Structure 1
């Protein structure tokens, strides 16, 4: 994936963004014709570029490598080595970046292309929230902002404007607009009772299977179960997704994590304290309890408790990933500055 370049002191986002776009310009100039708005984001127009005297963080856990030269040919890294001894190809454009750091582009595992702009006005309206919360697609600014922050690949993890998402991906891939590589997640697999106006409410496991089949055929590359899905619907959706060679994640509530693992889920969002309701007293199958009760059910739990050890073991044994989304929790920390 394209690397991002940042100032080693990381004082300004603008410096990080500029460096990222420099190298993206190198990659794009060789990979595709310049079309539309993308061309204005390319800072370097050369098939071969050498970045000298940079620090390199490879992303493997190894220590940073100081005073390196990185050579890019036709949009791909061709050589990395000490600046004093790494040969530079004839005709290469040479740029000295002492004091900068080169690192792999970031992979965003939970990055939406929408924002809940109307939630607070609706919540405070005397008329209520009918027909449900509306979230606004931001197809122009979101891809650019993610790219500027160093994200070169992202999973959208749920769609409210699926045809817009498909067009955004197509335009990025054609070079018509700038943006990261997109793993498009289909519209939410949600059941009755959703608070969101733009979400389809599944009627049965058969409906869930047909839903997955349709969006897989439309070009979506992953799926996401949501808070009011039933266990049977989740199992049907997982079976259909796997039949297409695709994966399914979930921000759950009505289905507990152990139930989701048994249903064949591949990934779970936000961590168990926020979304695993298995310990809620009096919990009813396929019903999402109050969030307060779910959070309270985890109070006092320790990683060493037998039931938590078993949950972790089951996740590992079934190869189920967990996407932690730590910034979500930062927003609800009491007395946060």
Structure 2
């Protein structure tokens, strides 16, 4: 029996003459597939209309619908392609060719800035950032990037366009570190937990260790000050004492952030600038520093009127405050997930 096909080759048009083939797993989530498609093609998701054909269909035949808001279109396309790919008499590769049904006219493209009409793509800046940071001198190639953990710099985890696009989307949505030091939770990388997010790889790679119980035969379970000498109680013989980190969960949650530096406002400003470049948030950093607003946690201590009087435009103030609050909430939830994951893999003594 032949091995079942698990991926589909998708041919994407970059312009009238250049195409790129990308392998997609057939079980890729609907939204992730289209995020990658629009990022690679550098077209606007809100206005672009797509269709598809297989490479063995006539060029001038009808194009199959591929609506972004209907998952049945994508599922049906994959089923059709898999049927063709699993045919025993097949003599050539089966490729899903994406068709851009309403491309920008060439004249309109030329009226843009030096034909860089694709520069306004939603994730283009993030894609370029990731491609630069994850380029690998050892495994150089047009469709190859590598992620390496600080704990194991000699182990290269290969990344393709699908992973790069998902990473770019995560950075654009402020759900991932723009320095690319840690992968986003939406990526399933070998050796890196998909749920731990910012948990370091050396913590993730350790197997789950069962609790170690210590038999205490000669000592009381509690300090003498806490023991009622006259009250009857169970014998201390053969009692097992387990030190569990769960008992300190509340204190660790409240004190877990105290050992770490607060989130710098300059980092938040840079993230907002990538998402809202026309608001030009970096211009306000000198004004904020003058008032001692250096960390993101300090922002909520002042009102909208304060920031307006400071010099922020009315349109920027609301977005600034809501974005800082959202990012802080995301960081807090991420740290709680890290602590919860760390507790799960802690050794009980």
Q: Which has the higher helix share?
A: 2
Q: Which has the higher strand share?
A: 1
Same fold (TM over 0.5): no
Higher relative contact order (CA 8 A, sep 6+): 2
TM-score, normalization by structure 1: 0.25
TM-score, normalization by structure 2: 0.24
